[in-house]
Amino acid sequence: MDGKPFQYVSGSAHYFRMPNQYWRDRLRKIKAAGLNAVSTYVEWSQHERVPGVYDFEGDLDVKRFVEMAQEEGLFVILRPGPYICAERDMGGLPYWLMTKHPDIQLRSSDFFYTYYVQRWMDKLLGKFTDLWYGKGGPIILVQVENEYGSYHSCDYNHTYWLRNLFEKHVDYNAVLFTTDGASRNFLKCGKIPGVYATVDFGPNSNVSKMFEAQREFEPSGPLVNSEYYPGWLTHWGEKKHARQDTKDVVKTLREMLNEKANVNFYMFYGGSNFGFTAGANQFGSIYQSDITSYDYDAPISEAGDLTDKYYAIKNVLEEYFNLTSNITVETHDKGDYGEITLKKTATMFARKIREKMGKFHVEHRPLSFEALEQNFGYVLYETTIPSSFVKGQNSKLEIKKIRDLAHVYLNGEFVGGMSREERKTKLNLTVENGNLGILVENLGRINFGSNINDQKGILSKVTLDDTALFFWNMTGYELNDVKTIEKCFEENDDDCMNDEGFVFYAQKFKLPKESYENDEKLLDSYLDVSHLTKGLVFINDFNLGRYWSTRGPQYTIYVPGVYLKPYPQENFIVILDEEIVTDNIKVNFTINPIFS
């Protein structure tokens, strides 16, 4: 670089997976390990939740993240997509693309897709004008698209168009590159003329063979592994949290460094999928949703702790690059904040909850989340069972395309469920005259492969004994906040409760006086939800994410201290549990994460 030999070892850390108050801490720890660069995706869907309305504040101030990396002495590898995968809902693409144009061809030359991509990229890339390396900034590399060779469309017109769009903004002040699996099958569609092709692979790979694939498409230039996996992702229902042996990570790292290769660890710090942001994968016909934690078995843990893997990598880099680090990194205790008893405060189908937290729509047939302009959460579909069905009749309810999980109610009473993951689309029930309710949950849109246009809700006819049901009332619960639940709690309002639907439990609590670190920061903690079933946790109106303790392998929810209020202020916790119906539930804070 600049006429001198240059080699980078980078670590992925996504600004959107941690509170902005922790950015500097994580960047400093990356630098202290001997790395000289940080890599981050940019998640379009978070920045443009509503078409044409952009958010670059707080945890989404990506420009500030890049500037902070430079302040900490790190180069930046920017991966702006527009598609990023990253185990995020819809691979980081905004759901409303399918609202505006249900048949849109994503990641292609589709007119509407390219229109919105150009509008977004002009807005985003324009923010980095003074941060490209050629302008004195830290951004040395900019990725075009993401593993496009793994996508079915192989639309060269689209990737050439993207290259030109990126070039307009970068203007040769940083190097454009692509990333694909280390195979000709992937690289043949992923490679873009004029854009440097790199590969990705994990420990125990044949390093020489992997780089041979890159050399076929880039006969000269640096060897680059843009995603070297020190850990892996985890789905709900898997027996164990994914792990990668440190010895294997270090062994393959040495082999790459011996080849003078450039390496980016994916992930070096994983973080969390707060709220509903976790994605899903589909393998054949099998759908699997991602857990809330994105710890990834990375060298830096979800809570920012340095692992044995971190120090093993640090030792290798110090050896190869003759480094001596004088960077001081902080270690953080965790807060054991005790037990909280939450009381039953509201139920999802109660009149006031429907009015204040629901969005209503009436249609002849059931509509998808996207058609209802709803991103996340739940939709309740209700209809009246036709009088032609005899009370007490044994019948079969069928929904061939349920996306993703359904709870079925007759006159408000739960009678069974349907599941995309379990491929359960039929339910035997005894007919009652009156109301049929089907509460459907979005568990995360597919983030990889040919099925990323993953619409949610009821996508097919609903039949009872092969008779299609019509005239649907739909109530959408996006759960962007739980302020209504707090008001129900404070007023002890009977209109917030009936005996129907999921239960919201709530409580106010104060932290102990001794909850601070030396620098007056509140301690992080974990909430143990292992004895609950499935649901959501909100603290001070922030959605910490989903738990699913009946499936595992994650049994705690990470609670960053910055989302808590110090003594003597009161904190407010809300837990929505989908199965437990009782007057009170108890949860406790703990200092360690629990995974199986």
The pairing of strands 224-228 and 262-269 is parallel
> Token match 């209503």: residue?
360
Instruction: Give the DSSP letter string of 112-170.
Output: HHHHHHHHHHHHHHGGGTTTBGGGTSSEEEEE-SSSGGGSS---HHHHHHHHHHHHHHH
Rg of the Cα trace of the chain?
Answer: 25
Local structure of residue 219 (DSSP, 8 states): S
Distance CA 240, CA 231 (A): 13
Q: Are 435 and 384 in contact (CB under 8 A)?
A: yes
Local structure of residue 386 (DSSP, 8 states): P
Q: Are 537 and 497 in contact (CB under 8 A)?
A: no
Nearest to 201 by CA among 182, 219, 185: 182
> Token match 């209802």: residue?
372
> Token match 């904190």: residue?
571
E strands present in 385-513: 394-399, 402-403, 405-410, 413-419, 426-430, 435-441, 457-458, 462-464, 467-468, 472-477, 503-509
Q: Are 474 and 455 in contact (CB under 8 A)?
A: no
Distance CA 29, CA 25 (A): 6
Q: Are 505 and 497 in contact (CB under 8 A)?
A: no
The H or E element that residue 343 is part of is strand 339-347
Q: How many helices (H) and strands (E) does the chain have?
A: 12, 30
Q: What is the dihedral of CA 20, 23, 26, 30, to 10 degrees?
A: 150
Q: Are 92 and 81 in contact (CB under 8 A)?
A: yes
Q: Of the residues 48, 145, 147, 218, which is catalytic?
A: 147
Distance CA 41, CA 445 (A): 18
Q: Of the residues 227, 478, 486, 578, which is catalytic?
A: 227
227: annotated active-site residue: yes
212: annotated active-site residue: no
Per-residue tokens: 302: 């979800």
Local structure of residue 29 (DSSP, 8 states): H
What are residue 570's DSSP bridge partners?
none
What amino acid positions are annotated as catalytic residues? 147, 227
